[in-house]
Amino acid sequence: NAGVTQTPKFRILKIGQSMTLQCTQDMNHNYMYWYRQDPGMGLKLIYYSVGAGITDKGEVPNGYNVSRSTTEDFPLRLELAAPSQTSVYFCASISHRETNEKLFFGSGTQLSVL
């Protein structure tokens, strides 16, 4: 059982470049999330999805896009990378069946925009 898998683990982008952070989970979870974590700060929600075909903005969505074509996959797209997007990105998923279920995180993607 792989849980939540994120790729890549590290990436360096030039300003204006684009990239997609991949996230997949094999637990059949309906809810999936993308967070960013800046140094010394808490996680901030970028986008979330409550099921295939449904996505919505979180606290800090500007500069990002997501899609949820399947239950398993929830990619995060950066269209025009900016230095302010330098951060560590975490994907997470949770089941909708119970309110106190565990939230599972991926191992993170460290992104630097130079």
**Token pair 């239950």: residue:** 71
Q: Min. distance of Cβ 23 from another protein in angstroms?
A: 11
**Residues of the shown chain interacting with another protein in the complex, contacts defined by CB under 8 A:** 4, 31, 33, 35, 40-45, 48, 50, 56, 90, 92, 94, 96, 99-108, 110
Residues 92 and 33: beta-carbon distance below 8 Å: yes
In the bound state with another protein, the residue whose beta carbon lies nearer, of 43 and 52, is 43
Which residue type occupies 79?
A: E
Q: How much of the chain is helix, strand and coil, in % rounded to 5?
A: 5, 50, 45
Nearer to another protein, 38 or 79 (CB): 38
Q: How far is the CB of 18 from another protein (least distance, A)?
A: 24
Task: Give the residue among 70, 62, 73 at the shortest CA–CA distance from 25.
Answer: 73
Compare residues 62 and 99 and give the one whose CB is closer to another protein.
99
